């Protein structure tokens, strides 16, 4: 397990009137632009951020779904039951220590963006070789501090999908949808809503016994158009505005192609999932066959036929007949009771052995990951910061490339995991250059809990993470289960 249906991601942006534009940028005067909804900084769980967002090649857990939808059905080594469930919760606080340039648009952004909070929550259900999950990303930030009548913007990002294991889990394929929505309001009154969804897919290769994995994910562009326009006004010039802001004709999340790999030293990375229910069925079937064979021989004896008789030649011929000797049945019933007790002990031992196999995995390991991300263009695009400042600064005019890398290890067995990494954030506008980030994170084992007696006891963990770059910093906390 790891940490409502309503999708809540909030952006409180400010000022009753648009922010002043720079002298070098033309003001937005027509509805002929598209908001380029590309997110440069890596936001997510402690493991995601701590390893620099290089997760397409790991693809485990609900937190990995935005990086590779195959993560919905990629079992972790400790997920041994036919049914597994996982909950995830994380929070980040970009700009908590210094003024940040979250959108990477250059000097001046730090004065406009403050009080930014990111919250993520997800749920994944694993049933044998099939997994389904949903993950919500919530972002809350304020643009401008002194605003008598702020424009409130609710940014929605969500991922919902399913995945299936093939070739005994050595190949995992995932398919899902991602949502991008922007809701604008002022003083509690809705102005305009943009909403849209698109398909995303992923593939993960995890050959049994190999120390490596390869993953690839493709995300089609999300084009969100206005679905509600209660507060939109058309001015004398024919331009659509809300609370004085010139509105875009659409909001676009560009297409993405992500390729990643992982390599683990010290312990196996890819273990075969052997369904415990199937193992139990095999044990019970073995006992049932022994009972059938004994009764077949008894029926043979009652018919006066030896081991080479007609029943032996046709083993199914005896099925309409049952043994009738009461003394034989009395002994057989006692024997079956003993066998049933033995079967239950064998099943319990089988599950214990499977758990011990995982528990005996070395705690000293080194996991290394790397990803390459290709981001598509946004024709007629401007960034969110440019929209809030009401200035026309092109964003996403050409495809962008990002590089991500990280590692994970457990220096204190059963107590502490640490991660570090980095990534090259693409620059999407002419004024923004690619930006290098350094990331760190750790998990600390806390204590065992049974959720007030509702569940089997599980180990809780606390997580912290950090991300530092030029004109940007964030730190975050998380809560989940220790494995």
Taking 70 as the threshold, does the pLDDT of residue 312 lie above it?
A: no
pLDDT at 478: 79
SS3 (DSSP) at 224 = strand
DSSP summary character for residue 482: -
Q: Distance (Å, rounded) from C-alpha 51 to C-alpha 44?
A: 11
Taking 90 as the threshold, does the pLDDT of residue 187 lie above it?
A: no
Domain spans, the chain: 10-268+361-481, 276-359
Q: Give the residue with greater pLDDT, 385 vs 378.
A: 378
pLDDT digits (tens, 9 = 90+) for 339-349: 999 999 998 88
Q: What is the DSSP string of 132-195?
A: EEEEEEEEEEEE-S--SSPEEEEEEEEEEEEEEEETTTTEEEEEEEEEEEEEEEETTEEEEEEE
Residue with tokens 């959720």: 451
Tokens of 147: 């605003």
Mean pLDDT of 15-37: 68
pLDDT band at 437 (very low <50, low <70, confident <90, very high): very high
pLDDT at 5: 32
Spacing of C-alpha 159 from chain mean position: 8
Taking 90 as the threshold, does the pLDDT of residue 126 lie above it?
A: yes
Taking 90 as the threshold, does the pLDDT of residue 384 lie above it?
A: no
What is the CATH code of the structural domain delimited by 10-268+361-481? 2.40.160.40
Closest CA relative to residue 101, chosen from 88, 90, 110: 110
| Rounded (10°) CA dihedral 94, 97, 101, 107 | 180
Mean pLDDT of 59-77: 92
Q: Model-level pTM? A: 0.78
pLDDT band at 142 (very low <50, low <70, confident <90, very high): low
Taking 70 as the threshold, does the pLDDT of residue 118 lie above it?
A: yes
pLDDT band at 253 (very low <50, low <70, confident <90, very high): very high
Maximum mean pLDDT: which of 303-317, 415-429, 469-483: 415-429
pLDDT at 94: 64
Look over the chain and give the mean of its residue pLDDT values, rounded to a whole number.
82
Q: Distance (Å, rounded) from C-alpha 40 to C-alpha 401?
A: 11
Contact of 90 with 46, CB cutoff 8 Å: yes
Give the DSSP H/E element, type plus range, for residue 369: strand 366-375
Closest CA relative to residue 246, chosen from 26, 16, 21, 30: 30
SS3 (DSSP) at 111 = helix
pLDDT at 174: 96
Q: Distance (Å, rounded) from C-alpha 359 to C-alpha 83?
A: 19
pLDDT at 407: 96
pLDDT at 313: 55
Sheet holding 233-234, edge to edge: 233-234, 240-242, 245-246
Helices assigned H by DSSP within 258-383: 276-302, 310-313, 326-359
Give the DSSP H/E element, type plus range, for residue 96: none
Taking 60 as the threshold, does the pLDDT of residue 173 lie above it?
A: yes
pLDDT at 475: 83
pLDDT digits (tens, 9 = 90+) for 72-104: 999 888 888 889 888 888 776 665 545 567 788
Residue with tokens 């909403």: 195
Neighbour count for residue 398 (Cβ, 10 Å) = 10
pLDDT at 272: 82
Q: Classify strands 10-13 and 256-265 as parallel, antiparallel or unpaired.
A: unpaired
């Amino acid at each position: 397990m790891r940490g409502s249906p309503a999708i809540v991601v909030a952006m409180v942006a400010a000022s009753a009137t648009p922010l002043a534009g720079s002298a070098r940028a033309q003001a937005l005067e027509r509805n002929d632009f598209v908001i380029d909804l590309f997110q440069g900084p890596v936001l997510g769980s402690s493991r995601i951020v701590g390893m620099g967002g290089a997760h397409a090649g790991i693809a485990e857990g609900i937190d990995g779904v935005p990086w590779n939808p195959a993560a919905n059905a990629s079992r972790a080594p400790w997920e041994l039951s036919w049914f597994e469930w996982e909950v995830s919760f994380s929070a980040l606080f970009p700009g908590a220590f210094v003024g940040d340039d979250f959108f990477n648009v250059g000097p001046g952004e730090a004065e406009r963006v403050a009080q930014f909070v990111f919250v993520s929550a997800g749920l994944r259900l694993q049933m044998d070789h099939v997994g389904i999950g949903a993950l919500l990303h919530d972002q809350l930030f304020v643009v401008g501090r002194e605003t008598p009548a702020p424009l409130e913007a609710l940014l929605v990002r969500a991922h919902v999908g399913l995945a299936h294991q093939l070739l005994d889990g050595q190949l995992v394929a995932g398919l899902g949808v991602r949502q991008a929505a922007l809701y604008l309001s002022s003083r509690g009154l809705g102005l305009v809503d943009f909403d849209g969804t698109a398909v995303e897919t992923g593939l993960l290769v995890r050959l049994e016994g190999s120390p490596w994995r390869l993953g690839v994910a493709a995300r089609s562009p999300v084009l969100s158009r206005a679905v509600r326009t209660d507060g939109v006004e058309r001015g004398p010039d024919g331009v659509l505005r809300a609370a004085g802001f010139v509105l875009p004709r659409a909001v676009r999340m560009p297409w993405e192609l992500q390729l990643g790999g992982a390599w683990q030293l010290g312990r196996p990375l890819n273990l075969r999932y052997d369904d415990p229910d199937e193992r139990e069925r095999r044990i019970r079937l073995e006992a049932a066959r022994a009972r059938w064979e004994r009764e077949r021989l008894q029926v043979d004896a009652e018919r006066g036929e030896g081991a080479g008789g007609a029943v032996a030649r046709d083993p199914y011929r005896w099925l309409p007949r049952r043994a009738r000797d009461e003394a034989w049945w009395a002994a057989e019933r006692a024997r079956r009771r003993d066998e049933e007790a033995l079967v239950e002990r064998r099943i319990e031992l089988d599950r214990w052995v499977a758990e011990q196999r995982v528990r005996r995995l070395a705690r000293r390991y080194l996991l290394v990951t790397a990803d390459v991300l290709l981001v598509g263009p946004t024709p007629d695009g401007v960034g969110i910061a440019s929209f809030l400042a009401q200035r026309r600064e092109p964003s996403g005019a050409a495809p962008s490339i990002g590089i991500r890398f990280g590692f994970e290890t457990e220096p204190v067995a059963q107590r502490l995991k640490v991660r570090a990494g980095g990534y090259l954030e693409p620059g999407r506008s002419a004024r923004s250059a690619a930006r290098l980030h350094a990331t760190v994170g750790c998990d600390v084992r806390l204590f065992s809990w049974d959720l007030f007696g509702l569940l089997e006891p599980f180990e809780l963990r606390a997580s912290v993470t950090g991300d530092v770059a030029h004109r940007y910093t964030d730190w975050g906390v998380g809560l989940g289960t220790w494995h």
